[in-house]
Structure 1
Amino acid sequence: MIIADPGRVLIVDDEPQILKSYTATLKLSGVKQVVAESDSRRTLEHLAGGAVDVVILDLFMPQPNGMELLPELRERFPQVPVVVVTAAYEPERVVECMKLGAFDYLVKPVENERLLTVLRQAFEWKAMMAQVHDLRDHLVQDRLDHPEAFSDLVTRSRKMRSLFQYLEVLARSPQPVLITGESGTGKELVARALHRLVGSPGELVAINVAGLDDAMFSDALFGHKRSAFTGADQPREGLIARAAGGLLFLDEIGDLGELSQVKLLRLLQESEYYPIGADTPRRSEARIVCATNRDLKKLVAAGKFRNDLYYRLNVHHVALPPLRERKEDIPLLLEHFIARTAEGLGTPPPSYPQELLELLATYHFPGNIRELQGMVSDAVARCQGRMISQAPFRAGMTTGHPPAVLATVPAGNDAAAQRLVEEIWGHFPTLREAEDLLVRLALKTANGNQGTAATMLGLKRQTFNVRLKVKKSKGSKIP
């Protein structure tokens, strides 16, 4: 088991052979900073320097013994987990140690695997507590320490700012990050921001794993040795090695095959991997970040995604809101994409009518920011004067997406659709009743702008105006 450079461990034990054995085990497993102390009187001195992350404490030592040290350690250094080790298993003493705040209790002789498992859990607990405190401070003070890291993410949304604060905190953790959100919400941009926050010298390496079979996945991530399989004339370095000291971004993780899921789980648990054809493992030094637009909980329930892998990935979860939940960003994004598209075309950025913002505010953007970017790019490219036309936007908004309320009804479930319709009206409506309601709602949502309301209903403005006149002449309650 590899523990990726977690911090400093203090081992306090009066037996030199134990100190030597534990130190060797930890260093071979990736713990670079190990302090071995045989004099228990110096324990507090080591912790007073603030550089100790976990203590491994023997109970039976010359004064002060472990039972005397434990409560003082927990009182003065509550952020440092203490793993108690003793030569005798006594249930009463175990209970007493746990009540005094011990993180865990191990009985000698301690198997290396057991020691490393407990130690890794202690490091994870300490990191989690530090993140909770940091996040609390960020939110209470509304603090953002590195706003430049988020320069690619154009926003004024309070939700997005909270996510940025969370990203600043989790950047200090070595644990994997899971980014979820609908297509077009900017998941890869978030991964790039995280890479900047980490500030490591390694590069960001991205791969879309959707459609990769197990052989392709293994070769892409782990690489292979020469002659590992037919056609392997040269050795190949995998993406994990390429991302050493940096960040490996696995997109569309929800589409990963079952065998590949097992290999990814082992990589996350052990921090090591085998290149294809290799007999010895290589250590992974890449931070793993995964992204998906699918609901992993539903995939787990359906047996299509491993439960243990889900919880291993979900240590830090960044859920990006869709554009329809952050519409205050539309004006900023509109101006940003206009300027960027015009720069690419080598033309001055055109202006836009105020009515365009009102039009965009009524749209639900199923394709999110990527859809808005496409609309803007098309409109700027078509622009012949100093102001872009609303026509390309209207065309993009009338492609026939179902209303959000009806989208919750399973396809083909006519009975559910009928119940929903009757719940709205109290009876099965006539076509006139349904049309009148839709027209009233469209006009209300568009703040009375008939052109915008027409776009929402998928009609040309002239056609909509004619229908309004006909409805009013027949006594319909249309404003």
Structure 2
Amino acid sequence: MAKILLVEDERVIRAEIKRILARDQHEVTDVPSVCEAETLRPECFDLVITDVRLTGETGDVLIERVGEVPVIVMTAYGSVSAAVDAMKRGAADYLSKPFEPEELSKAVERVLRHRSLRKPYDSNATDDPYEIIASESSPMQEALRRARKVAPTEATVLILGESGTGKELVARAVHKQSRRPGAFVPVNCASIPETLLESELFGHEKGAFTGAATRKDGLVHAANGGTLFLDEIGELTQAAQARLLRMLQQREVRRVGARKAEAVDIRLIAATHRDLPSLVERGEFRADLYFRLNVVEIKLPPLCERGNDILALAEVFIARAADKLGRPPLDLDDQAAEALKRYKWPGNVRELQHAVERAVILHESGPITEELLGLPTSNGSNGRSVLAGEDSSLEGYLRRFVLSHQHELSETELAKRLGISRKTLWERRQRMGIPRRESRPPE
């Protein structure tokens, strides 16, 4: 739950966005203008969401006026350049109207998660950007050692790991310890429609295609002087791969429809959960681009391989959730702790965070119990039969969960419960030979 300030001058749109945020358990204060927003001390909120084009002052002026509070800006289709400008000035993210409720929810969750993880829980904590992802497990320690070593250099970094393992957190830590003064610009390649991917990344000239009414900067331009983080880089089209390769080789970028290229100064960090060498063998990913990306490889282990980190992370998430709700510190009982250690966590750290936050919200008295966590029992209730002694493979768990719940949950809900994106869920269905059902359950 977070305190969110919403600034939108269109009454109907403002009401719908507020409804979505309230559904996600956030406390929302909504106003139609920057002037009214400033009377509410926006720096006291957890997040500000504002349209750029407002009556009176434009919404992006709030970026400089809210201190450390993150700002998500909203723009109409065709005005992405305004969002890029806002990100250069420090906006945390942007949404292009019209957007789906799921896009809004994910953007808010992502920004709030990053804000929470950047804020040390312990008042005596250091400024070490790796502190929140510190680990006792050897594979994770090796990953963080590599990240620290490569951070001050200009080397391209490729981060590998399952969904929810913390790839973007590591990328942000690398950027924070780099010598680059510019912005960290995250891009999820899987979330941008294929037809808009090149334009969003590299920008376009006026008239480059139908609907290109003005010249537009791309996200590459927003990252100039800083770091461009391309998450799920395995989803790039062949055309986008070619443009990216040219950018890495020539240190320049050409907008869609442009005759001349522009010089750029960007440090690239890429990430994926996919097997890029296999994609190269199948001709789906360029070999020359792969070798350009794979200068320094950092592999993040799944949570189930991180031993005592599971309980350590759970305690951090419980403490933060309790603090947000104004509750005293909470403990796990022995059975709950054992359940956390036995569970395979296919959604990794993200799923763990959701599980313990839900437990804190539902908690009434005493320590947090196994029942509050909602994890499986040995007979496979809740569709999560992944305890010791059973088929413990991730693929086996995914198969059982999807088959057990696909008739009662929508694709969006299935993906959310698994801690993965809808695109990843579709890919896993293809791999496991489980076709998507024809009809959807009622939302």
Report what 1:242 is aligned to. Answer: 222
1:158 counterpart = 2:121 = no
1:285 counterpart = 2:265 = yes
Q: Which amino acid aligns with 1:352?
A: L
Q: Which amino acid aligns with 1:400?
A: R
TM-score when scaled to structure 1? 0.52
Q: Deviations over 1:355-392 (max 9, x none)?
A: 32222222221111111111101110100114222103
Residues 344 and 392 of structure 2 are in contact (CA less than 8 Å); yes or no, is this contact kept in structure 1? no
SS in 2 for 1:352: coil
Structure with the higher helix share, 1 or 2: 1
Report what 1:400 is aligned to. Answer: 384
1:255 counterpart = 2:239 = no
Residues 226 and 233 of structure 1 are in contact (CA less than 8 Å); yes or no, is this contact kept in structure 2? yes
| Distance of aligned partners of 1:405 and 1:375 in 2 relative to their CA distance in 1, 3 Å threshold | closer
What runs of 5+ residues in structure 2 fail to find an aligned partner?
Answer: 1-125, 400-443
SS in 2 for 1:290: strand
SS in 2 for 1:178: strand
Percent of aligned pairs with the same residue?
A: 40
User: Mapping of 1:129-208 within 5 angstroms?
Assistant: 148-208=128-188
Aligned-partner Cα distance in 2 for 1:211–1:339: 32
Structure number, greater radius of gyration: 1
Q: Which amino acid aligns with 1:186?
A: G
Report what 1:353 is aligned to. Answer: 333
Residues 221 and 240 of structure 1 are in contact (CA less than 8 Å); yes or no, is this contact kept in structure 2? yes
Q: Deviations over 1:54-113 (max 9, x none)?
A: xxxxxxxxxxxxxxxxxxxxxxxxxxxxxxxxxxxxxxxxxxxxxxxxxxxxxxxxxxxx
SS in 2 for 1:152: helix
| Distance of aligned partners of 1:346 and 1:154 in 2 relative to their CA distance in 1, 3 Å threshold | farther
User: Mapping of 1:378-457 within 5 angstroms?
Assistant: 378-395=358-375, 398=380, 399-401=383-385, 403-404=390-391
TM-score when scaled to structure 2? 0.56
Report what 1:344 is aligned to. Answer: 324
Residues 335 and 369 of structure 2 are in contact (CA less than 8 Å); yes or no, is this contact kept in structure 1? no
Q: Deviations over 1:223-269 (max 9, x none)?
A: 12333333323322111111111111111111222222122111111
Aligned-partner Cα distance in 1 for 2:276–2:237: 13
Q: Which amino acid aligns with 1:286?
A: I
Which residue of 310, 319, 323 maps to 2:303? 323
Aligned-partner Cα distance in 2 for 1:235–1:339: 48
Aligned-partner Cα distance in 1 for 2:188–2:385: 27
Deviation at 1:300, TM superposition (A): 1.6
| Distance of aligned partners of 1:332 and 1:211 in 2 relative to their CA distance in 1, 3 Å threshold | closer
Structure 1's consecutive aligned runs of 4 or more residues displaced over 4 angstroms after TM superposition are 401-409
Residues 157 and 293 of structure 2 are in contact (CA less than 8 Å); yes or no, is this contact kept in structure 1? yes
1:313 counterpart = 2:293 = yes
Q: Which amino acid aligns with 1:375?
A: A
| Distance of aligned partners of 1:199 and 1:156 in 2 relative to their CA distance in 1, 3 Å threshold | farther
| Aligned-pair Cα RMSD in Å | 2.5
Aligned-partner Cα distance in 1 for 2:307–2:222: 39
Q: Deviations over 1:20-70 (max 9, x none)?
A: xxxxxxxxxxxxxxxxxxxxxxxxxxxxxxxxxxxxxxxxxxxxxxxxxxx
Report what 2:344 is aligned to. Answer: 364
| Distance of aligned partners of 1:400 and 1:243 in 2 relative to their CA distance in 1, 3 Å threshold | same
SS in 2 for 1:179: strand
Residues 376 and 384 of structure 2 are in contact (CA less than 8 Å); yes or no, is this contact kept in structure 1? no
